Chains A and B, each alone.
Chain A
Amino acid sequence: MVAVLLLFGLLGLALGAALLVARAGRPLHGAPFVTETALTPDEEDPSRVAKRAAQATASLERVKPRGAYLVVDSYRNRLRLVENGVPKHEAVCSTGTGTILRDPRNGREWIFDTPIGERVIERKVKNPVWAKPDWAFIEEGYLPPTNPEERFDPYSLGDYALYLGNGYIIHGTLFQTLLGRRVTHGCIRLGDADLELIYRNVRIGTRVYLY
């Protein structure tokens, strides 16, 4: 009997303590996402709504890509060739690691992200030569060379390169087994066959959507 009373007493104390602690808490509380549409009287005018819709639709159609364009999903490491909204080819690619490199001399940092947003193919080059930027040496623990000749690398980019500006390139790879992984410094690497297909099917000026 005493033991039961003691047990109930302890339980009561624990519950009381929990209530006191809970009163101090401010946990997350979820409420339904309720929206209210706020429109100006002009926007609600039925006689003008259809015209506004047509204008906005036309405006969007003007900026949409036409013909062939590329879409790069840098999370899943996939590159798609799309023509008039219809996917024509999908390739496994490699994209940026997202790592940060710091130069010990001055603290300058590079973030190896594949950019997001729209770009265009500015140049197409067969048998490209890579002019290695400073980070390529610093990452290996070397001082960037003062002689520009020491920067040229005719092997790493593969057979073709499609330049997207700001140093970002769609190119081949010496490391085919790493396709599908985030291993690059921001460029998009493709396997040999996919790279050739993309090179032959897109023109300079083709839009590339990266996300």
Chain B
Amino acid sequence: MSGSARASISISLLAAAAALAGETPPDPGRVATLRLEAGIAQTPAVYLVLDPPRQVLEIKSRGTVLDSIALVGIEVVTQQPLLAERRTRPVTVPAVWRIVGEPSDDHRELIAPVELRPMPKEEDEESDDGEAATPAPAGPTPTPTPVPEPEATYRAHLDGGWDLLICEQLPPRGLFDRFAAAVRDGWQRLRDEGRDEPPAIALAMAAEDARRLHHVLRSGTSILVAAGAP
């Protein structure tokens, strides 16, 4: 377990424990989050807890933090014309989102033998001097080439019509950068190569963290979005 994971004991539990000890009244939002987590943790699945105030995404199972990912930023990302009126509605929390379309796994290698031949008989493998050959390691063989890595920027579809956009950098905010992005996108659209994407919750993180999160995001994975102050 990484240091950060060890340190990130469930804040919900801490808040609840403090409340029980009579120190501070529990935050109703945190308690609602805790109750939702108690429901999710009844199954053996791995789930994620997104804690916006702490800017952290925890990988958990059965209420236990297995790992945690520090977020560089969280934003609501939509595709909009350059000079459109900006309007985004608040995200209701606490909430449980579910992955309904896992990120693309185009990076997977496909092994597809064209045809299968019969296993060679043992006598065929004997050496010339008549002694039986040393048993070959017939078991799991090593992969000769490195396993391809997934991209560090990708989308997963959530129930409710949103996407989860995992990226290294959030969309640029500067006027010049936005103008350049609008020109790029406009040029693609003029060539019929533009793409409309659903609105997304963008989580920015280090590339390595994005790749290991890709490993965990599978259809059906729950993401609990915490409410209340830590």
Measured CB to CB, the residues of A under 8 A from B are 18, 20-39, 43-44, 46, 49-50, 52-57, 59-61, 63-65, 71, 73-76, 80, 82, 85, 87, 97-102, 104-105, 111, 116-119, 130, 132, 136-143, 145, 150, 153, 155-157, 173-175, 178, 181-185, 187, 189, 207, 209-211
- Which residues does chain A contribute within 8 Å of B212, judged by CB atoms? 73, 75-76
Chain B, 31-63, CB within 8 A of any chain A CB: 31-32, 34-35, 37-38, 41-42, 44-46, 52, 59, 61-63
Interface residue ranges of B137-183 to A (CB < 8 Å): 137-143, 146-147, 170-171, 173, 178-179, 181-183
A36 and B183 in contact, given A25-B82, A183-B143 (Cβ under 8 angstroms): no
A22 with B182: CB separation less than 8 A: yes
The complex places the Cα of A94 from the Cα of B151 at a distance, in Å, of 22
B32→A27 contact, CB < 8 A:
no
Q: Which residues does chain A contribute within 8 Å of B194, judged by CB atoms? A: 25-26
**Which of B's residues lie within 8 Å of A, judged by CB?**
1, 6, 10, 12-13, 15-17, 19-20, 25-26, 28-32, 34-35, 37-38, 41-42, 44-46, 52, 59, 61-64, 66-67, 74-82, 86, 88, 90-94, 105, 107-119, 135, 137-143, 146-147, 170-171, 173, 178-179, 181-190, 194, 196-197, 201-202, 211-212, 215-216, 218, 225, 227-228
Closest 10 interchain pairs by CB?
A156-B139, A25-B186, A25-B185, A118-B44, A27-B181, A24-B186, A25-B182, A53-B16, A22-B182, A75-B212
| Contact status B28-A39, CB under 8 Å | yes
